[in-house]
Amino acid sequence: MAKGIWVFAEQREGQIKKVTYELLSEGRQMADQLGEELCAVLVGKDVAEMAGSLGEYGADKVLVVENEALENYTTDGYTNAIAELIRQNEPSAFLLGCTVTGRDLAAQLAQRLETGLMTDCTGMEIADGQLVFTRPIYAGKATVRAACPEARPVMATIRPNTFVAVANAKTAEVVKAAVDPGNIRQVIKDIVRQISERPELTEADIVISGGRGIKSPENFKVLEELADVLGGAVGASRAAVDAGWISHSYQVGQTGKTVSPVLYIACGISGAIQHLAGMSSAKCIVAINKDEEANIFNVADYGIVGDIFDIVPVLTEELKKITA
């Protein structure tokens, strides 16, 4: 009998990703309703000391897999180790954040275990005793509720910022598991990190995006200053990316990143359907655009019709005062 809801505790360089805490918090409630155990799976090299915080967010147990070969994420290493762990323990569900790593691992693992996987979900509920997931499809123009009735574990990746992380100061039982990372066919030759003080775009609570209206790469500074006052991330429309003003990794939309922040400020972005696909699940949308007819105003909670360069610097100053 499959038992236990498992959450992938994604970490990078000694930091647990926020989405992990979000999944544990929501997973806690599901586990209680189903009468199952909530277990976090923490994989890497020397990661055991990070296990404590996972209990605080709801895990009953933390399974720790430590291995030299698992220092950096590789598809094979993580899939081999976690697949073995799952075969030994037979959990009923395995949840991951919909991040670059979560997506990569989930697909591989799901096929290894010959099970079903629902990706980029924005909702999770229990119906008729089973976990049911909601996912936006067709660029958010429709949603589907789906389940994996038979195969176990049921797997899902959940979009960051979907659930709220709530700490409750519990302590989890920490269990070290010895599983074999096996033969790793992907050899990592180099890792290049852009040094940024700002939060990761897909996980940020606040995102300030610029479009064609920004007009030059230098002008992104105006948005960066606003982002820094709010502790937010900077994003862009495809027009700004295609113009070469900012790299593609900042693109928000159907062929870019999907973001789900609490606050999204669109500056000089017209609001094309493909852009909306990447940000319409934001809780509050602000539009700053000099064209009052721009489509972005049809989805924005607050709008200002006017020039970015007149408005944003003042907004930054005002917010600096408020948040001081």
Ligand X SMILES: Cc1cc2nc3c(=O)[nH]c(=O)nc-3n(C[C@H](O)[C@H](O)[C@H](O)COP(=O)(O)OP(=O)(O)OC[C@H]3O[C@@H](n4cnc5c(N)ncnc54)[C@H](O)[C@@H]3O)c2cc1C
Interface residues with ligand X (CB under 6 A) are: 211-213, 237-240, 251-256, 268-270, 272, 274-275, 278, 288-291, 294, 307-309
* Strand-pair category, 117-121 with 11-12: unpaired
The dihedral through the CA atoms of 107, 178, 188, 202 has a sign that is: positive
Residue nearer to other proteins on the CB measure, 37 or 182: 182
Interface with other proteins in residues 29-58 (CB under 8 A): none
Q: Residue 133 gets which letter from DSSP? A: E
Please choose which of other proteins, ligand X, none residue 292 contacts, taking the beta carbon within 5 to 8 angstroms, the exact cut-off set by kind: other proteins
Please choose which of ligand X, other proteins, none residue 290 contacts, taking the beta carbon within 5 to 8 angstroms, the exact cut-off set by kind: ligand X
Q: Per CB under 8 A, does 14 bind other proteins?
A: no
Q: Per CB under 8 A, does 273 bind other proteins?
A: yes
Please choose which of other proteins, ligand X, none residue 211 contacts, taking the beta carbon within 5 to 8 angstroms, the exact cut-off set by kind: ligand X
Q: Per CB under 8 A, does 274 bind other proteins?
A: yes
State in angstroms the smallest separation of the CB of 229 from ligand X.
Answer: 19
Inter-residue contact 252 to 226 (CB < 8 Å): no
Q: Which two tokens stand for residue 179?
A: 């599983």
Q: Which two tokens stand for residue 155?
A: 């797997």
Q: Per CB under 8 A, does 76 bind other proteins?
A: yes
**Nearest residue to 90 via CA among 1, 181, 9, 24:** 1
State in angstroms the smallest separation of the CB of 176 from other proteins.
Answer: 27
Residue nearer to other proteins on the CB measure, 193 or 218: 193
Cα separation, 253 vs 198, whole angstroms: 20
Run of H or E including 81: helix 75-89
Please choose which of other proteins, ligand X, none residue 117 contacts, taking the beta carbon within 5 to 8 angstroms, the exact cut-off set by kind: other proteins
Residue nearer to other proteins on the CB measure, 14 or 52: 14
Q: Residue 285 gets which letter from DSSP? A: E
Q: Residue 306 gets which letter from DSSP? A: S
Inter-residue contact 48 to 14 (CB < 8 Å): no
